[in-house]
């Protein structure tokens, strides 16, 4: 199992700000003799917390807390510091009939802060459970043989940005970890804004995701042991990002795999190229189901070609002078993806004999259904809902049933479409958005099921290959599609 380090949704200075703001609102309702000292103490704590946050940085979730405390501050301090007009009588204070709604409004404002901090949490990435530490790096590759179909310039060649996660040497405690959404703060901010814009949310809601750190170390030296690393190519969902399944990738890498996740320019949310350009998504729905189906098939074909090209580049990387040279086993490679990326993984495995397996994370199988797959396939899906495309499961079943190798579909109870990504770590825990499995259970389950499948189909020698059915049943309702005839040869 993957160990998870639980983190509070607020830091100690933020907790102090909330408590001090609530204390300011409570002063009005204390006995007269206790009000002056309580007012000064609460005000001092609030000012201290505000000063600390000013130095450390104020998250948007704390803005209503600071606003509520600031509004209450003069009404609390003024009576406490003002001398009474008549000696022996307390200084003036607001009448109860006006103080009640004001206090209620203030409490609501202050309470909005912790609620927002809980809903849009700082992503706390699971600690990988494997024996290896995890390193990461980003590379950019251009295919000289393939024109860029999203632009009109015939000289423009198809370029992909790829993030690698791989088994690495253990680094000293305190070694800086990789940023989540980008190599730099600026790249992370750009990607976060693009992801927020894709779902029509303001960018500041993704501030914590933009500032998050993962469990991998940038450019860490590869692990000394572990032999050659089997390869998993990953394609994100439409409008997604190469990092959207970081927890999944880090878990696989900690168990000896090299994971290569692609940004697909003009399809991924925002892709920052080495020449300084930022390429944003150019794909969008037309609203016409048949037209969108045709477009999705075209985009899936481009993604599948990107996966095949990336595998070729990894083969060249292994044969060169790169620190990973001699460690990348492209003879044991799987194509994987989420949503449209899952469809691309199926197409890549269908078209390229170098892929020995495919993993589809809740992806509609866009594109042609032939030639038939000759590779083991794992499909993880959510339970059907009224909103599920009625064509999805029949089309997926048809593709798996026509496979000449055993294929496995696991229907995960409580899962949602975005639950197969990192989204539960930082999005509001709404069942329709991320499912009902909790913040860490979805990424943990997705990685564990994928490992059970890959270990069975990639790690043993072909003659000793085992079927992962027994291991997969623990993750949901399992449907196994076995070929009627012996497995067809690769090709």
3-state secondary structure of 334: strand
- Do 23 and 52 lie in one domain? The reply is yes
Token readout for 112 is 């909005």
SS3 435: coil
Residue with tokens 């993704």: 206
pLDDT band at 372 (very low <50, low <70, confident <90, very high): confident
How much is the pTM? 0.90
Number of domains present in the structure of the chain: 2
- Alpha-carbon distance 245 to 254, whole Å? 14
User: Across residues 394-409, what is the average pLDDT?
Assistant: 93
Q: Are 137 and 216 in contact (CB under 8 A)?
A: no
Between CA 319 and CA 118 the distance in angstroms is: 48
CA–CA separation, 171 and 177 (whole Å): 10
CB 343 within 8 A of CB 364: yes
Asked if residue 371 has a cis previous peptide bond (ω within 30° of 0), the answer is yes
Rounded to the nearest integer, the mean pLDDT of the chain is 90
Q: Taking Cα atoms as reference points, which of 263, 179, 174, 256 lies closest to residue 216?
A: 179
Q: Which residue has the higher pLDDT, 82 or 423?
A: 423
Find the mean pLDDT for residues 9-29.
91
Query: Same structural domain for residues 236 and 337?
Result: yes
Final residue in a domain of this structure, among 119, 144, 159: 119
Q: Is the pLDDT of residue 440 over 70?
A: yes
pLDDT at residue 158, rounded to an integer:
97
- Find, among 401, 301, 393, the residue nearest to 344 by Cα: 301
State whether 176 and 223 are in the same domain. Answer: yes
Domain for residue 490, yes or no? no
Q: Is residue 124 part of a domain?
A: no
Give the residue, 28 or 408, on which the prediction is more confident. 408
Give me the pLDDT at residue 28, please: 82
| Domain span including residue 299 | 133-481
Q: What is the pLDDT of residues 143-154, one digit of tens each?
A: 999 999 999 998
Residue spans of alpha helices (H) in 199-336: 207-211, 246-254, 289-319
Check pLDDT > 60 for residue 357: yes
| Residue 257 pLDDT > 50 | yes
pLDDT band with cut points at 50, 70 and 90 for residue 97: low
What span, in angstroms and rounded, lies between the C-alpha atoms of 59 and 50?
12
Same domain, 111 and 154: no
The average pLDDT across 40-62 equals 94
What tokens appear for 134 in the block? 């995890």
Q: 388 and 442: one domain?
A: yes
173-210 residue pLDDT tens: 999 999 999 999 999 999 999 999 988 899 999 999 99
Same domain as 144, residue 105 = no
Instruction: Identify the pLDDT of residue 87.
Output: 55
102 & 170 share domain: no
Whole-angstrom Cα Rg for the chain? 27
Residue 5: per-residue pLDDT: 36
Q: Is 146 exposed, middle or buried (0-12, 13-18, 19+ CB in 10 A)?
A: middle
104 within a domain of the structure (yes/no): yes
Q: Are residues 289 and 345 in the same domain?
A: yes
Q: How far is CA 189 from CA 49, 72, 183, 192, in A?
A: 27, 34, 10, 5
Residue 288 pLDDT grade (very low, low, confident, very high; cuts 50, 70, 90): confident
As a whole number of angstroms, the distance between CA 326 and CA 308 comes to 20
How many Å apart are CA 282 and CA 286, to the nearest integer?
12
**Among 6-20, 323-337, 395-409, 430-444, where is mean pLDDT lowest?**
6-20
What per-residue confidence (pLDDT) applies to 310? 98
CATH of the domain at 369: 3.40.50.1820
């Amino acid at each position: 199992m993957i160990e998870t380090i639980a983190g509070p949704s607020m830091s100690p200075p933020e907790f102090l700000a909330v408590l001090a703001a609530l204390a300011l609102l409570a002063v009005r309702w204390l006995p007269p003799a206790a009000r002056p000292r309580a007012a000064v103490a609460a005000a001092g704590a609030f000012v201290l917390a505000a000063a600390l946050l000013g130095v450390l940085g104020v998250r948007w979730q704390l803005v209503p807390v600071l606003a509520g405390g600031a509004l209450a501050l003069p009404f609390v301090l003024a009576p406490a510091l003002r001398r009474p007009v008549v000696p022996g009588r307390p200084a003036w204070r607001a009448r109860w009939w006006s103080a009640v709604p004001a206090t209620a409004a203030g409490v609501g404002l202050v309470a909005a802060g912790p609620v927002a901090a809980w809903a849009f949490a700082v992503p706390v990435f699971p600690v990988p459970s494997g024996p290896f530490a995890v390193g990461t790096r980003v590379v950019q590759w251009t295919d000289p043989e393939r024109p860029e179909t999203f632009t009109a310039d015939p000289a423009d060649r198809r370029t992909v940005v790829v993030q690698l996660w791989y088994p690495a040497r253990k680094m000293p405690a305190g070694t800086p970890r990789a940023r989540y959404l980008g190599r730099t703060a600026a790249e992370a901010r750009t990607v976060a804004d693009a992801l927020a814009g894709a779902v029509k949310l303001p960018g500041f809601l993704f501030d914590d995701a933009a500032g998050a750190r993962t469990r991998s170390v940038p450019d860490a030296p590869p692990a000394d042991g572990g032999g050659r690393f089997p390869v998993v190519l990953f394609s994100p969902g439409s409008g997604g990002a190469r990092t959207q399944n970081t927890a999944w990738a880090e878990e696989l890498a900690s168990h000896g795999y090299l994971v290569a996740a692609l940004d697909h320019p003009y399809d991924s949310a925002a892709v920052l190229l080495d020449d300084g350009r930022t390429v944003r998504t150019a794909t969008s729905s037309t609203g016409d189901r048949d037209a969108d189906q045709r477009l999705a098939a075209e985009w899936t074909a481009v993604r599948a070609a990107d996966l095949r090209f990336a595998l070729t580049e990894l083969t060249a990387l292994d044969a060169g002078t790169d620190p990973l040279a001699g460690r990348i086993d492209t003879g044991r490679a799987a194509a994987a993806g989420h949503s449209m990326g899952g469809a691309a993984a199926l197409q890549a495995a269908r078209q390229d004999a170098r892929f020995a397996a495919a993993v589809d994370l809740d992806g509609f199988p866009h594109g042609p259904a032939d030639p038939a797959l000759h590779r083991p396939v794992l499909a993880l899906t959510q339970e059907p809902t009224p909103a599920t495309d009625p064509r999805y499961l029949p089309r997926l079943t048809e593709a798996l049933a026509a496979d000449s190798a055993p294929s496995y579909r696991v229907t995960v109870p409580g899962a949602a479409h975005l639950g197969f990504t990192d989204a539960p770590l930082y999005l509001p825990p709404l069942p329709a958005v991320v499912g009902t499995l909790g913040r860490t259970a979805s990424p943990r389950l997705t990685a564990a099921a994928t490992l059970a499948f890959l270990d069975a189909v990639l790690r043993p020698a072909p003659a000793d290959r085992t079927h992962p059915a027994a291991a997969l049943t623990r993750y949901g309702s399992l449907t196994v599609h076995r070929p009627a005839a012996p497995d067809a040869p690769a090709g």
